[in-house]
């Protein structure tokens, strides 16, 4: 065998064929042919397993399929044993609104009134480092197709981003490319971008995290699943043609760490065409409306390999397809390449014979290309032929579901104790902690101008937040809110959060803190949290330290979901995010979806009305380890803020009730940057300041003014309460036994933020500092 | 049920709004090309103004009996080649051009990509190039109404300032000096950017009309400022509704 690409072997086929095809028959006859399994990312034991499953050596085409489908990215082989907990730790409360759980393209949650919502967050990290524009763009494209595959109309996207140090020369390359890619693709789809995150940290320098979330809505009867059932039903591939882009992307890129010694992997990144995707969305929705497809699956990682094997595996029989029927952009592609290609904007569907004509009419209307590849059989086998010769003959389950599963060794890192013992307070970096009015005011200004806390509108102004006309709230508010039903105002809220520093200090609690913050953000907006999707970004699972972080994070997250009563309905694991032996901070990005009976009840984060009372909900402890303040001073050590999920739930209920009953006009959660950040953000939101006194906090909680301002104690929020509602609001807090303190009043006249003991801050100066940072580096 | 949820299916709304139609009897077409994005929003704006929205498909060869047409925003044909360059050749565009130039002077509004299609169709002069900042820009934009005699602006006052969302990549209006002079001399500059020229448009022009005032094009999105709470945070949030009530008054007035 001379070729390194799959599917071509020497000396077996006739002259009339375009390629020398490695057939199943040939494979059986030539057991000793050497195959490039290692180049395709398989390990020796995995290749041996393929041979055992098949009872012979795989053909080149089969090898291509197994290699991509058994890659870490597609098979979750390192995380599967741990991810199980999301399915096992489920209470009745968590199940009550779940219509479709983990395992499908995306989970589906019941919204009531016959509506259902599906959402999912995924990573597109490695491609976004190699080629930021296309990597980020196709990340949006892929997650949106997952949502369409469920039968839903996509209605919004979000994009949590984590890049390297803001002043590193390569960060601008990633930033410009990724943001333009997300905008260029998402804006062209007509999907409002309603939120996300932007974190800068040198740990992400060589491994930026580009995660993408999409949410879609549908009527219950429109829910579609990815399975191929019913003998004689037709299998069709439609959308863009299949080209040479992204070949081996899943196996080679996403499942290996970057290493300078290997050649450039640029060709493995897919190229997106948002126009094709937009047409595909509308075309699919028309198919769903006419009930013209029985099963549907998008083509993402592993392309046709994934779609055929998953559809067949989830169905009740088998499938037989002729690979030469696939429409190609590049006629020189080999069978293996066609099976592995990750060309974007493609879908595969199962159509009953009687719907074929109607299906074709929809394709023609939208000028979408399609080709009938084959049909569903009752053999239980996935058979792929090339001009009639069988080149794949497998049990689809062995490809799609029964891949290798590893119990990777893991152990608490030796360095963990030392890191946790290194508290910020009293550290070298803590020297000269600000005190006195002038220093505290300067510290607050420095905080809100810091890379992670600064205004992100340089990014978000490049995204369309209006299209669709249903965006009720978007960044910089705590959650993005989209109306689903114009008649009733029924809608959803979404927030994503993660804190890599907390999770580095304590993976179990760090993951819980990410969930708690997303939950709190959704509740702060006034929505009732309902479901969770997670994107678990970690380093190499082959490193026991990283594997421990992953195991702990999953355990923490699944435990916390039980306490909060909301299930994980889907997500994604992204491993090998490390450069050399240095992994990123463990970064479980958690998305929480909430429900509004009427989005008109949403609570924005900014103050508007003069004289309204500002309350701080929750108590403050001295928790500066892992905080933005310590980060600004270059310290990372100690223990993250304490997790109190019962308090989060109680706080959530107060915020939701207050929103529903009109008791608050504004609410903002306290998280990174603590009370100082929240006060400034609520002031700058609408340019309306406040007069605040924190003495009562200092007295009650026994903390100093600096700590009251910069501590990142969880389970807190600030709210603005109209005078007429104050008694009702405080009675509610008292009745629920939740700590609350009146800390000030909204001041619409002064144009300042006044905090007793801190020099009065002019809002315009604060705004200037807050808004200047991103333009300074990227403008 | 008077309304169906728009998010599910725009067409169904228009089909099932007969009682709305009774209000005015006006039928306003909303054109969808492959890649059109803001068509459902335009349908909503028409409906909230009190008319019936009629979905029109780019490949249609007749306009039916619509009283006006909105060409909404988006990236028709992906903006490939040039924004609007492919869409102008759609069969329906030939009908729209004829109707706009006919004695009946069909009112036509082009928003964003619709404006680009109208310049490509030569219903309006000039062209749009990439924003001078080179980035896609989404913001709440203040506009000044310069002409309230067009079919789409008669409900506004001259000099009135309105806030509507602006969101585009290719929004910089350009034309040769002679054309710009003529547009100004003839009062065909309908909207100007106020306070901040977001994209380098010549003479702060945000929107223009043809000589007869029945065809108006602008880059900002009035259809996204028709419902409080779902539009700009500056102002009432509904300051774009006047476009649609204007044309409705024109249609109803003409029918009297």
**Chain B residues whose beta carbon lies within 8 Å of the beta carbon of residue A275:** 34-35, 75, 77-80
The reply to whether domains A1-70+224-403 and A416-454+603-778 share a CATH topology is yes
Structure tokens at B156: 């506004």
Residues of A annotated as catalytic (active site), given as ranges: 73, 124
**Chain B residues whose beta carbon lies within 8 Å of the beta carbon of residue A155:** 7
Whether residue A548 has pLDDT greater than 80? yes
Give one DSSP letter per residue of A391-413, joined into a string: EEEE-HHHHHT------------
Of A153, A180, A187, the CB nearest to B8: A153
**Domain boundaries defined on chain A:** 1-70+224-403, 81-221+492-510+524-599, 416-454+603-778
Q: What's the CATH number of domain A416-454+603-778, 2.10.25.10, 3.40.50.300, 3.20.20.140, 3.90.650.10?
A: 3.90.650.10
**B36 forms bridges with which residues in the sheet?**
B74
Structure tokens at A715: 């389970």
Q: Which residue out of B58, B120, B221, B239 is catalytically annotated?
A: B221
B6, A469: Cβ pair inside 8 Å?
Answer: yes
Closest to A319 (Cα-Cα) out of A394, A371, A402: A394
Whether residue A4 has pLDDT greater than 80? no
Nearest-5° Cα angle at A185, A182 to A191: 90
What pLDDT score does B19 carry?
A: 47
In A35-170, the DSSP E strands lie at 98-100, 107-112, 115-123, 153-163
CA distance A302 to A138: 14
Nearest-5° Cα angle at A469, A465 to A474: 35
Is the model more confident about A8 or about A637? A637
The CATH number assigned to the domain with range A1-70+224-403 reads: 3.90.650.10
Q: Give tens-digit pLDDT for A206-215.
A: 999 999 999 9
Exposure class string for A564-574: b at 16+ Cβ within 10 A, else e:
bebbbbbbbbb
Which 8-state DSSP code applies to residue B201? -
What are the residues of chain B with a beta carbon less than 8 Å away from any beta carbon of chain A?
Answer: 1, 3-9, 34-35, 37-38, 40-41, 44, 74-75, 77-80, 135-139, 165, 167, 169, 221, 223-224, 226-227, 229-231, 233
Strand order in the sheet with A568-574: A471-473, A480-483, A491-497, A587-596, A528-537, A568-574
A352, A230 in Cβ contact below 8 A?
yes
pLDDT bin (cut points 50, 70, 90) of residue A6 is very low
Cα A400 to chain center, whole Å? Answer: 22
pLDDT bin (cut points 50, 70, 90) of residue A73 is confident
Is the model more confident about A723 or about B234? A723
Cβ atoms within 10 Å, residue A437: 15
Question: In angstroms, what CA-CA distances link A131 with A196, A240, A266, A317?
Answer: 21, 21, 7, 40
- Altogether, the residues listed in chain A come to a count of 779
Say if residue A552 is exposed, middle or buried (CB neighbours under 10 Å; 0-12, 13-18, 19+).
Answer: buried
Whether residue B16 has pLDDT greater than 80? no
CA distance B158 to B43: 27
**Chain A residues whose beta carbon lies within 8 Å of the beta carbon of residue B78:** 188, 273-276, 278
Whether residue B255 has pLDDT greater than 70? no
Q: Give tens-digit pLDDT for A188-238.
A: 999 999 999 999 999 999 999 999 999 999 999 988 887 888 899 999 999
CA distance A339 to A236: 15
Share of chain A above pLDDT 70, in %: 95
B138, A466: Cβ pair inside 8 Å?
Answer: yes
A253, A338 in Cβ contact below 8 A?
no
Closest to A321 (Cα-Cα) out of A188, A186, A228: A228
B138, A217: Cβ pair inside 8 Å?
Answer: no
CA distance B184 to B164: 23
- Residues near B253 by Cβ (< 8 Å), separated by ≥ 6? none
| From A5-14, A50-59, B175-184, the region with the lowest mean pLDDT | A5-14
Structure tokens at A442: 């300067």
Structure tokens at A459: 């990014």
Q: Give tens-digit pLDDT for A527-547.
A: 999 999 999 999 999 999 999
In this structure, what are the phi and psi dihedrals at residue A276, rounded to the nearest 5 degrees?
A: -60, -35
In whole numbers, what is the pLDDT of chain B averaged over residues?
A: 91
CA distance A386 to A35: 20
CA distance A362 to chain B (A): 13
pLDDT bin (cut points 50, 70, 90) of residue A248 is low
CA distance B199 to chain A (A): 13
In chain B, the residue whose alpha carbon lies closest to the alpha carbon of A281 is B35
In whole numbers, what is the pLDDT of chain A averaged over residues?
A: 92
Of A278, A461, A686, the CB nearest to B35: A278
What pLDDT score does A335 carry?
A: 87
B230, A470: Cβ pair inside 8 Å?
Answer: yes
B137, A273: Cβ pair inside 8 Å?
Answer: no
Q: Report the relative pairing of strands A389-394 and A370-377 from DSSP bridges.
A: unpaired
Scan for tokens 């399915």, then name that residue: A87
pLDDT bin (cut points 50, 70, 90) of residue B107 is very high
Closest to B217 (Cα-Cα) out of B140, B99, B131, B122: B122
What pLDDT score does B254 carry?
A: 63
pLDDT bin (cut points 50, 70, 90) of residue A302 is confident
- Residues near A220 by Cβ (< 8 Å), separated by ≥ 6? A99, A110, A114, A115, A116
Average pLDDT over residues A673-684: 98
CA distance A163 to A167: 11
CA distance A120 to A637: 32
CA distance B66 to A757: 66
Share of chain A above pLDDT 90, in %: 84
**Chain A residues whose beta carbon lies within 8 Å of the beta carbon of residue B221:** 466
CA distance A217 to chain B (A): 8
Which 8-state DSSP code applies to residue A612? -
CA distance A376 to A225: 16
A196, A477 in Cβ contact below 8 A?
no
CA distance A53 to A497: 41
Helix (H, G, I), strand (E, B), or coil: what is residue A159? strand
What pLDDT score does A205 carry?
A: 97
CA distance B42 to B223: 5
In chain A, the residue whose alpha carbon lies closest to the alpha carbon of B34 is A279
Handedness of CA B222, B228, B230, B235 (dihedral sign): positive
Handedness of CA A740, A741, A747, A751 (dihedral sign): negative
The CATH number assigned to the domain with range A81-221+492-510+524-599 reads: 3.30.1330.10
Closest to B49 (Cα-Cα) out of B72, B74, B17: B17
What pLDDT score does A622 carry?
A: 97
Closest to A119 (Cα-Cα) out of A193, A212, A210, A188: A212
CA distance A544 to A470: 46
Which of B9, B48, B136 to mutate to probe the A interface, most A CBs <10 Å?
A: B136
What pLDDT score does A271 carry?
A: 82
CA distance A538 to A549: 8
In chain B, the residue whose alpha carbon lies closest to the alpha carbon of A116 is B8
CA distance B188 to A399: 65
Peptide bond into A192 cis (omega under 30): no
Q: Which domains does chain B have, with CATH numbers?
A: 10-255 (3.40.50.880)
Helix (H, G, I), strand (E, B), or coil: what is residue B45? helix
Q: Give tens-digit pLDDT for B39-51.
A: 999 999 999 999 9
B7, A278: Cβ pair inside 8 Å?
Answer: no
What are the residues of chain A with a beta carbon less than 8 Å away from any beta carbon of chain B?
Answer: 153, 155, 180, 183-184, 187-190, 217, 219, 273-276, 278-279, 282, 285, 289, 366-367, 460-472, 483-487, 599-600, 686
Cα A658 to chain center, whole Å? Answer: 29
Helix (H, G, I), strand (E, B), or coil: what is residue A610? coil
Q: Which residue out of B112, B120, B146, B239 is catalytically annotated?
A: B112
CA distance A513 to A508: 9
**Chain A residues whose beta carbon lies within 8 Å of the beta carbon of residue B38:** 190, 467
- Residues near B248 by Cβ (< 8 Å), separated by ≥ 6? B24, B26, B28, B49, B50, B51
Q: Which residue out of B120, B146, B223, B239 is catalytically annotated?
A: B223
A654, A522 in Cβ contact below 8 A?
no
Which of B1, B8, B15 to mutate to probe the A interface, most A CBs <10 Å?
A: B8
Say if residue A414 is exposed, middle or buried (CB neighbours under 10 Å; 0-12, 13-18, 19+).
Answer: exposed
Average pLDDT over residues A361-382: 96
A188, B75: Cβ pair inside 8 Å?
Answer: yes
CA distance A76 to B35: 36
Helix (H, G, I), strand (E, B), or coil: what is residue A540? coil
B1, A487: Cβ pair inside 8 Å?
Answer: yes
Exposure class string for A210-228: b at 16+ Cβ within 10 A, else e:
bbbbbbbbbbeebbbbbbb
CA-based radius of gyration for chain B: 17
Whether residue A17 has pLDDT greater than 80? no
Average pLDDT over residues A581-603: 97
**Chain A residues whose beta carbon lies within 8 Å of the beta carbon of residue B167:** 187, 464, 466-467
B136, A187: Cβ pair inside 8 Å?
Answer: yes
A59, A20 in Cβ contact below 8 A?
no
What pLDDT score does A14 carry?
A: 40
In chain B, the residue whose alpha carbon lies closest to the alpha carbon of A151 is B8
CA distance A242 to A130: 22
CA distance B211 to chain A (A): 31
Question: In angstroms, what CA-CA distances link B192 with A30, A466, B114, B206, B212?
Answer: 75, 21, 18, 5, 19
* Helix/strand/coil percentages in chain A, nearest 5: 40, 25, 40
pLDDT bin (cut points 50, 70, 90) of residue A245 is confident
**A105 forms bridges with which residues in the sheet?**
none
């Amino acid at each position: 065998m001379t070729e390194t690409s799959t599917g071509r072997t020497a000396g077996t086929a006739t002259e009339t064929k375009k390629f020398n095809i490695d057939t199943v028959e040939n494979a059986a006859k030539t057991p000793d042919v050497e195959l490039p399994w290692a180049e395709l990312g398989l390990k020796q034991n995995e290749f041996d397993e393929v041979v055992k499953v098949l009872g012979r050596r795989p053909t080149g085409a089969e090898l291509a399929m197994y290699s991509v489908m058994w890659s870490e990215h597609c098979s979750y082989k390192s995380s599967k044993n741990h991810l199980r907990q999301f399915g096992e730790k489920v209470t009745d409360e968590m199940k009550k609104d779940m219509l479709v759980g983990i395992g499908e393209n995306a989970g589906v949650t019941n919204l009531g009134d016959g509506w259902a919502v599906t959402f999912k967050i995924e990573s597109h990290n490695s491609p976004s480092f190699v080629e930021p524009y296309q990597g980020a763009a196709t990340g949006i494209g892929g997650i949106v197709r997952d949502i369409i595959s469920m039968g839903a109309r996509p209605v919004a996207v979000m994009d949590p981003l984590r890049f390297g140090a803001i002043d590193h020369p390569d960060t601008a390359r990633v930033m410009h490319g990724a943001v333009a890619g997300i905008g260029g693709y998402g804006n062209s789809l007509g999907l409002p971008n309603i939120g996300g995150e932007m974190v800068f940290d040198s740990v992400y320098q060589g491994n930026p995290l580009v995660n993408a979330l999409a949410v879609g809505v549908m009527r219950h009867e429109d829910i579609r699943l990815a399975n191929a059932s019913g003998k004689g039903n037709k299998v069709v591939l439609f959308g863009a043609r299949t080209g040479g882009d992204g070949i081996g992307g899943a196996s080679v890129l996403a499942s290996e760490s970057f290493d300078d010694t290997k050649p450039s992997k640029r060709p493995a990144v897919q190229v997106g065409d948002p126009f094709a995707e937009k047409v595909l969305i509308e075309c699919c929705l028309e198919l769903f409306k006419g009930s013209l497809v029985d099963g549907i699956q998008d083509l993402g990682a592993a392309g046709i390999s994934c779609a055929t094997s998953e559809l067949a595996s989830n169905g009740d029989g088998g499938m037989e397809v002729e690979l030469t029927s696939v429409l190609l952009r590049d006629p020189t592609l080999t069978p293996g390449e066609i099976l592995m290609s990750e060309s974007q904007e493609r879908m595969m569907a199962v159509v009953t014979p009687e719907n074929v004509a109607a299906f074709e009419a929809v394709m023609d209307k939208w000028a979408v290309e399609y080709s009938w590849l084959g049909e569903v059989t009752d053999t239980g086998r996935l058979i792929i032929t090339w001009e009639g010769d069988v080149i794949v003959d497998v049990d689809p389950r062995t490809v799609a579901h029964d891949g290798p599963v590893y119990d990777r060794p893991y152990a608490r890192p030796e360095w963990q104790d030392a890191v946790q013992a290194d508290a910020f307070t009293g550290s070298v970096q803590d020297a000269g902690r600000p005190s006195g009015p002038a220093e505290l005011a300067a510290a607050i200004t420095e905080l809100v101008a810091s890379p992670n806390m600064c205004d992100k509108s340089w990014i978000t102004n490049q995204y369309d937040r209006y299209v669709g006309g249903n965006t009720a709230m978007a960044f910089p508010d705590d959650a993005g809110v989209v109306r689903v039903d114009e008649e009733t105002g029924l809608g959803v809220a979404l927030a994503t959060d993660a804190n890599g520093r907390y999770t580095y200090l304590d993976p179990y609690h760090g993951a819980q803190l990410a969930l708690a913050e997303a939950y709190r953000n959704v509740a702060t907006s006034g929505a009732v949290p309902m479901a969770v999707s997670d994107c678990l970004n970690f380093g190499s699972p082959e490193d026991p330290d990283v594997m421990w972080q992953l195991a702990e994070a999953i355990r923490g997250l699944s435990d916390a979901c039980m306490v909060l009563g909301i299930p994980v309905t889907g997500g994604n694991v992204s491993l090998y995010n490390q450069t050399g032996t240095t992994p990123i901070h463990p970064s479980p990005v958690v998305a929480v979806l909430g429900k509004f009976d009427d989005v008109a009840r949403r609570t924005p984060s900014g103050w508007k009305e003069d004289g309204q009372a500002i309350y701080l909900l929750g108590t403050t402890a001295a928790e500066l380890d892992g905080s933005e303040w310590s980060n600004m001073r270059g310290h990372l050590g100690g223990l993250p803020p304490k997790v109190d999920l019962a308090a989060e739930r109680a706080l959530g209920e107060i915020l939701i009730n207050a929103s529903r009953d009109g008791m608050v006009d504004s609410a903002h959660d306290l998280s990174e940057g603590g009370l100082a950040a929240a006060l400034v953000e609520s002031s700058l939101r609408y340019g309306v300041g406040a007069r605040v006194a924190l003495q009562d906090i200092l007295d009650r909680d026994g903390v100093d003014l600096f700590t009251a301002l910069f501590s990142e104690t969880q389970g807190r929020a600030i709210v603005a309460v109209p005078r007429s509602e104050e008694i009702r609001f405080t009675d509610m807090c008292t009745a629920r036994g939740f700590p609350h303190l009146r800390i000030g009043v909204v001041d619409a006249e002064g144009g300042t933020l006044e905090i007793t003991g801190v020099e009065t801050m002019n809002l315009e100066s604060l705004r200037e500092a807050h808004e200047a940072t991103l333009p300074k580096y990227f403008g | 049920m008077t309304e169906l949820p728009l998010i599910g299916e725009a067409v169904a709304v228009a089909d099932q709004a007969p009682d709305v139609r009774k209000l005015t009897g006006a039928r306003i077409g909303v054109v969808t090309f492959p890649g059109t994005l803001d068509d459902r929003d335009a349908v909503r704006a028409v409906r909230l103004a009190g008319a019936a929205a009629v979905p029109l498909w780019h490949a249609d060869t007749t306009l039916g009996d619509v009283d006006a047409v909105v060409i909404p925003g988006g990236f028709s044909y992906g903006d490939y080649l040039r924004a609007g360059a492919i869409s102008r050749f759609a069969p329906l565009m030939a009908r729209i051009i004829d109707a706009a130039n006919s004695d009946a002077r069909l009112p036509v509004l082009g928003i964003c990509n619709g404006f680009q299609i109208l310049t490509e169709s030569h219903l309006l002069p000039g062209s749009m190039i990439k924003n001078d900042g080179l980035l896609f820009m989404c913001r709440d934009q203040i506009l000044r109404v310069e002409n309230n005699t067009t079919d789409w602006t008669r409900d506004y006052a001259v000099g009135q300032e309105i806030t509507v969302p602006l969101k585009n990549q290719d929004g910089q209006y350009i034309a040769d000096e002679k054309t710009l002079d003529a547009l100004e001399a003839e009062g065909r500059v309908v909207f100007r950017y106020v306070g901040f020229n977001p994209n380098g448009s010549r003479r702060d022009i945000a929107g223009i009309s043809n000589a007869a005032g029945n065809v108006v094009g602008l880059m900002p999105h009035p259809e996204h400022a028709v419902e409080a709470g779902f539009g700009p945070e500056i102002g009432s949030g509904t300051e774009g509704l006047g476009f649609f009530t204007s044309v409705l008054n024109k249609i109803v007035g003409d029918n009297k």
